[in-house]
Amino acid sequence: MTFAMPGADTSLVEVTNVSRHGFWILLEAEELFLPFAEFPWFRDEAIAKILHVENPSPDHLYWPELDVDLSVESIRHPDRFPLVSQGGT
């Protein structure tokens, strides 16, 4: 699913697959994996809520139904961004 706010300058983002280990996002031409071990906020959420992702700026992803904001760099390099919240753990 691809979501964009009317009138907003957004890039395309799409959740392409969800597994018991995490999920994949296609952002422009790059596919990124978000493992639940490193992104626990998504672990126990409904798939429909995970699918509803927005890309309000090139380095920002937002899940409005979960109130989760992530920098794209934190997905590319999670080791550089230690968790502040343990979310669903």
Of 38, 32, 39, 47, the closest CA to residue 1 belongs to 47
> What is the domain partition of the chain in residue ranges?
13-80
CA dihedral angle for residue 37, residue 39, residue 41, residue 46, rounded to 10 degrees: -80
pLDDT of residue 69: 95
pLDDT of residue 84: 53
pLDDT of residue 32: 96
Residue 71 identity: S
CA distances for 51 relative to 14, 36, 42, 78, angstroms: 7, 15, 11, 21
Q: Which CATH class is domain 13-80?
A: alpha beta
Each residue's pLDDT expressed in tens, for the chain with a length of 89 residues:
444 444 444 458 999 999 999 999 999 889 999 999 999 999 999 999 999 999 999 899 999 999 999 999 999 998 888 765 445 44
CB 29 within 8 A of CB 14: no
pLDDT of residue 85: 46
pLDDT of residue 80: 87
